[in-house]
């Protein structure tokens, strides 16, 4: 089991950053996400709950394909909660594809920055567990490195979407 954590500060308000999080895909920084489908959305006690299915296309190392397979599209569950009164947005994602061997549990929390409410703090963590395949520890490290790289791309994608949102406000 490997753990990965990161924090990032967006120089944008919580309202704008959470709006951008909903519009993050598709983006040119991470073309592997090919579809997002909303499976359920409801409000309970003032909190928006959403369950989405994320479809992506990732290339796997060729030596790994005979062991766990190589589907053309991979899936993950994303469950989120948005509490606009408390200004907290939490997204929890877990892979569906390869779940027999690999579990990647990722959590993103968007909060107003504690010292500057005009900025937003992103706290991100992932827990990676690989079982039942050779080189489990190596694969956990490889997946953790990939998560770190993709997190950087995700932050760039968020800035790209935030730029689009800012442009939309200029037009109005």
Per-residue tens of pLDDT for the chain, all 172 residues: 999 999 999 999 999 999 999 999 989 998 889 999 999 999 999 999 999 999 998 766 666 666 666 667 889 999 999 999 999 999 999 999 988 889 999 999 999 999 999 999 999 999 999 999 888 999 899 899 989 999 999 999 999 999 999 888 776 5
Q: Enter the pTM of the model.
A: 0.90
The CA distance from 73 to 57, in Å, is: 5
C-alpha angle 160-29-101 in degrees, rounded to nearest 5 = 130
3-state helix, strand, coil in the chain (%, to 5): 30, 40, 30
The 10 Å Cβ neighbour count of residue 126 is 22
Q: Kindly state the percentage of the chain with pLDDT values over 90.
A: 74
Residues 121, 157: Cα–Cα separation, whole Å: 16
Alpha-carbon span 19 to 169, nearest angstrom: 13
Q: Assign a CATH topology to domain 2-171.
A: Alpha-D-Glucose-1,6-Bisphosphate; Chain A, domain 4 (3.30.530)
Query: Comparing C-alpha atoms, which of 5, 4, 2 is closest to residue 122?
Result: 5
């Amino acid at each position: 089991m490997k753990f990965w954590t990161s924090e990032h500060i967006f120089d944008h308000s919580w309202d704008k950053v959470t709006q951008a999080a909903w519009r993050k895909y598709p983006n040119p920084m991470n073309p592997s996400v090919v579809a997002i489908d909303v499976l359920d959305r409801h409000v309970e006690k003032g909190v928006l709950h959403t369950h989405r299915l994320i479809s992506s296309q990732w290339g796997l190392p060729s030596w790994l394909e005979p062991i766990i397979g190589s589907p053309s599209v991979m899936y993950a569950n994303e469950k989120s909660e948005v509490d606009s009164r408390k200004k907290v947005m939490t997204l929890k994602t877990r892979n569906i594809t390869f779940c027999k061997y690999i579990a990647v549990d990722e959590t993103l929390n968007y909060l107003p920055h504690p010292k500057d409410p005009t900025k937003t703090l992103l706290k991100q963590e992932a827990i990676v567990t690989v079982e039942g395949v050779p080189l489990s520890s190596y694969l956990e490290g490889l997946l953790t490195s990939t998560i770190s790289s993709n997190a950087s791309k995700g932050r760039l994608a968020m800035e790209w979407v935030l730029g689009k949102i800012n442009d939309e406000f200029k037009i109005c």
